[in-house]
Amino acid sequence: MAYDLWYWPGIQGRGEFVRLALEAGGIAYRDRARELGDEEGAAALLADMSSRQGAGRQGRMPFAPPYLASDGLAIAQVANILMFLGERHDLAPSGMADRLWLNQVQLTIADLVSEVHDVHHPVGTGAYYEDQMAEAARAATPFRDERLPKFLDYFTQVIACNDGDWTIDHRWTYVDTSLFQLVQGLRYMFPRRMATLEPDYPDLVRLHDQVARLPGIKAYLASGRRQPFNQDGIFRHYPELDGD
């Protein structure tokens, strides 16, 4: 099965959660927009999205990237894509209770990612950060002080539910690669705040380090395929939004 991953070129963004699961699982894919470069890739992505619009089952298009296309099927929404990969490539346990639990944790990760985005874009997805800096500064404080520790407490509790070294069972799943990306992104966006908080979350840091050592992830991080974080993605480093 050949996969086409479609996502905005030039950023890790939400697509990175999909890339990490594919890379850790050794699953072949083409990063379609990215391989064309920033401008041509974005145009190709928009063209691919509109080509999927239409009547009948063929018209089951995504609302937004990322999506994974294969055999005429386009699967969108990060948690949905990861659930599919988990089932199809055995990247997750198949029992109902475990499957629902992983999906639940992944959706909570998605909620945090969404809140992270809203910190630098509180009043308009379509407007620039520079046009909403005052609002962003106001949004950042309760996020850093209240929401962030609340989520990190929760993910620590999630890890504590398992007897093994991973989130579930005795092997990595897509939730582990997603928690890795969360820690990476938070360190990039809030280096000061994370320096304060991390000592309180040793289990989360240990999990992050374990994922970094997975052969597929290790190779990916050392390759040109891993793009650096930057000021266009979800996690953005604006020093004025950080704090101890």
**Could you list the residues that contact its own copies (CB under 8 A)?**
53, 55-63, 73, 75-77, 79-80, 83-84, 87, 96-97, 100-101, 103-104, 107-108, 111, 114, 118, 122-127, 132, 135, 138-139, 142, 146-147, 151, 154, 157-158, 160-161, 163
Please state, in angstroms and rounded to a whole number, the distance separating the CA atoms of residues 8 and 69. Answer: 15
Nearest to 19 by CA among 87, 73, 65, 61: 65
Q: Are 234 and 185 in contact (CB under 8 A)?
A: yes
User: What's the min distance (Å) between Cβ of 132 and its own copies?
Assistant: 8
User: What's the min distance (Å) between Cβ of 213 and its own copies?
Assistant: 25
Q: Which contacts (CB < 8 Å, 24+ apart) does range 76-85 have?
A: 78/14, 78/17, 78/18, 78/106, 78/110, 79/103, 79/106, 79/107, 79/110, 81/18, 82/17, 82/18, 82/21, 82/106, 82/174, 82/178, 85/18, 85/21, 85/22, 85/25, 85/27, 85/174
**Nearer to its own copies among residue 112 and residue 214 (C-beta):** 112
**Nearer to its own copies among residue 2 and residue 97 (C-beta):** 97
> Quick one: tokens of 43?
């145009």
User: What's the min distance (Å) between Cβ of 212 and its own copies?
Assistant: 25
Among the residues of the chain, which ranges form H helices?
A: 15-24, 38-51, 78-88, 96-120, 133-142, 148-160, 174-189, 191-197, 202-213, 215-222
User: What's the min distance (Å) between Cβ of 117 and its own copies?
Assistant: 10
User: What's the min distance (Å) between Cβ of 219 and its own copies?
Assistant: 29
User: What's the min distance (Å) between Cβ of 108 and its own copies?
Assistant: 5
Nearest to 82 by CA among 183, 215, 172: 172
Residue 41 one-letter amino acid: G
**Nearer to its own copies among residue 204 and residue 217 (C-beta):** 204
User: What's the min distance (Å) between Cβ of 49 and its own copies?
Assistant: 11
**Nearer to its own copies among residue 75 and residue 186 (C-beta):** 75
**Nearer to its own copies among residue 82 and residue 217 (C-beta):** 82
**Nearer to its own copies among residue 75 and residue 189 (C-beta):** 75
Other C-beta atoms lying within 10 Å of the C-beta of residue 142: 11
**Nearer to its own copies among residue 47 and residue 160 (C-beta):** 160
